[in-house]
């Protein structure tokens, strides 16, 4: 199987972790030898309610018995998609009322960028250095990491960059700017939070020049940071909100939400301004609806902040120099990329899943399911400390 995996399935890196998955339940993934791995990654912030949450599984099974794909996006009235869009609206400010459902986060970013161009008649897009918004051509065009996109140029023209949290750069947002697209908390860059009312200042500048503000909440959204949406921490409502990952509860989804006035622009000039066959798929929408209901009705969201404190209390070690992030979107920083690599691989051997961030090689991703228990957090932290002790010993004996 491992040979076939490498031979037939296209790879994205030369050294995939290659765990052979058997099944997954709650906070654990099991390999084919039935070894349990405590999951501190949640499929990269996607499995909000852990693995195979009964409410998500039931919603999927019930929908499977009714209908699967019946028509392209937006033509027929399909209850799961309608209810999902309505529940999103109920939990958002009035100006974010109408949602377009897509198959992935990157696709939702594409839709949002197109909407901003269509609405403003402008072409310039401003993004942030070290930003990640997805891997399709448009989303990659606004990725702020040249090394990973050079080989794919030419990309979208008229994209400029600002540095996240740098207020002096805001002057670059002008009357030529269609939109500014930012992650509410920068993910791949190293879980960088906005400082000093930064997002409010971006909002103010966008309003002044008539540019739209797109906030990418594909990672921080759906309760991960202690609010349903990250922007609620920062007093800044975007014109277009982009979500994904954790919204699906383990199923593939993306969404962009805006006012009806904005969203209705996709209906004409040209008509069919953004179309998809499978976006809003009934089974996916049913899973997302069950996930969103559970997140908004339970006390999982306030618990994320308590759980963050537990991580911060237990992850104290000379090789952890900083813990960045908010709620259950945390990055433990080690002194070097080598130590980070050793820790991630060493923890996998010990039955704990950790992962990297895209552009910050010293960071260790800690984004567990929101449903993780306090005992599981302590158990996982102890594994991290044990592996770090081993690494520390190895380095001190090699320098002695």
Ligand X SMILES: Cc1ncc(COP(=O)(O)O)c(C=O)c1O
Q: Which is nearer to ligand X, 13 or 94 (CB)?
A: 13
C-alpha to C-alpha distances, 39 to 54, 75, 217, 319, 351, nearest whole angstrom: 18, 39, 22, 21, 9
104 binds ligand X (CB under 6 A): yes
What are the E-state strand segments in 147-226? 159-162, 177-183, 212-216
Distance from C-alpha of 286 to C-alpha of 293, rounded to nearest angstrom:
11
193 binds ligand X (CB under 6 A): no
Q: In the structure encoding, which two tokens stand for residue 112, read together?
A: 């949002």
Closest distance of CB 392 from ligand X, Å: 31
Out of 74, 138, 187, 280, which residue is the one contacting ligand X (CB under 6 A)?
Answer: 187
Closest distance of CB 244 from ligand X, Å: 5
Stretch that binds ligand X, among 149-157, 211-219, 257-265, 337-345 (CB under 6 A): 211-219
190 binds ligand X (CB under 6 A): no
238 binds ligand X (CB under 6 A): no
Out of 99, 124, 219, 243, which residue is the one contacting ligand X (CB under 6 A)?
Answer: 219
279 binds ligand X (CB under 6 A): no
Q: Which is nearer to ligand X, 78 or 367 (CB)?
A: 367
Q: In the structure encoding, which two tokens stand for residue 257, read together?
A: 């939400």
Out of 43, 238, 244, 325, which residue is the one contacting ligand X (CB under 6 A)?
Answer: 244
Distance from C-alpha of 43 to C-alpha of 29, rounded to nearest angstrom:
10
133 binds ligand X (CB under 6 A): yes
Out of 183, 193, 239, 308, which residue is the one contacting ligand X (CB under 6 A)?
Answer: 183
Out of 37, 100, 132, 198, which residue is the one contacting ligand X (CB under 6 A)?
Answer: 132
DSSP state letters, 228-264: SSGGGGTT---SEEEEEGGGGTSS--EEEEE-HHHHG
134 binds ligand X (CB under 6 A): yes
What are the E-state strand segments in the chain? 21-25, 28-31, 36-39, 98-102, 124-128, 159-162, 177-183, 212-216, 240-244, 254-258, 322-326, 329-333, 352-353, 355-356, 363-366
78 binds ligand X (CB under 6 A): no
Distance from C-alpha of 198 to C-alpha of 21, rounded to nearest angstrom:
42
43 binds ligand X (CB under 6 A): no
Stretch that binds ligand X, among 3-11, 68-76, 126-134, 375-383 (CB under 6 A): 126-134
Q: In the structure encoding, which two tokens stand for residue 17, read together?
A: 């972790």
218 binds ligand X (CB under 6 A): yes
Distance from C-alpha of 3 to C-alpha of 11, rounded to nearest angstrom:
12
Give the residue nearest to ligand X (CB).
105
216 binds ligand X (CB under 6 A): yes
Dihedral of the CA atoms 83, 107, 234, 209 (nearest 10)? -110
110 binds ligand X (CB under 6 A): no
Which residues contribute to the site for ligand X (CB under 6 A)?
104-106, 109, 132-134, 183, 187, 216, 218-219, 244-245, 254
């Amino acid at each position: 199987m491992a040979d076939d995996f490498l031979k037939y399935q296209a790879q994205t890196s030369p050294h995939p972790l290659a765990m052979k998955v058997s099944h997954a339940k709650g906070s654990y993934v099991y390999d084919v030898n039935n070894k349990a791995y405590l999951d501190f990654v949640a499929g990269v912030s996607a499995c909000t309610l852990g693995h195979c949450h009964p409410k998500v599984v039931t919603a999927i099974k019930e929908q499977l018995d009714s209908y699967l794909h019946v028509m392209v996006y937006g033509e027929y009235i399909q209850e799961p998609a309608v209810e999902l869009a309505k529940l999103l609206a109920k939990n958002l400010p009035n100006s974010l009322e109408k949602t377009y459902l897509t198959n992935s986060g990157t696709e939702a970013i594409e839709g949002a960028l197109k909407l901003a161009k269509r609405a403003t008649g402008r072409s310039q897009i401003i993004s942030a250095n070290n930003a990640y918004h997805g891997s399709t051509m448009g989303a990659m065009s606004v990725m702020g990491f040249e090394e990973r996109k050079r080989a794919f140029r030419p990309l979208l023209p008229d994209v400029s960059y600002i540095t996240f949290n740098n207020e002096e750069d805001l002057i670059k947002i002008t009357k030529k700017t269609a939109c500014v697209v930012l992650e509410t908390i920068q993910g791949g860059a190293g879980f960088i939070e906005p400082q000093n009312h930064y997002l409010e200042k971006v909002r103010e500048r966008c309003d002044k020049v008539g540019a739209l503000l797109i906030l990418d909440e594909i990672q921080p959204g759906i309760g991960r940071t202690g609010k349903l949406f990250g922007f609620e921490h920062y007093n800044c409502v975007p014109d277009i909100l982009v979500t994904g990952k954790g919204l699906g509860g383990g199923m593939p989804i993306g969404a962009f939400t805006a006012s009806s006035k904005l969203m209705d622009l996709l209906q004409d000039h040209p008509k069919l301004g953004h179309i998809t066959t499978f976006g809003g798929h009934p089974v996916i929408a049913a899973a997302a609806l069950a996930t969103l209901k559970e997140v908004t009705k339970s006390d999982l969201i306030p618990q994320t902040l308590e759980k963050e404190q537990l991580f911060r209390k237990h992850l104290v070690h000379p090789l952890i120099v900083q813990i960045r992030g908010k709620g259950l979107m945390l990055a433990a920083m080690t002194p070097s990329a080598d130590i980070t690599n050793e820790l991630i691989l060493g923890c996998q051997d010990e039955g704990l899943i950790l992962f990297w961030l895209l552009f910050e090689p010293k960071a260790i991703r800690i984004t567990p399911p929101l449903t993780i228990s306090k005992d599981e957090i302590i158990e996982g932290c102890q594994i991290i400390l044990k592996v770090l002790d081993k690494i520390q010993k190895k380095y001190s004996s090699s320098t002695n």
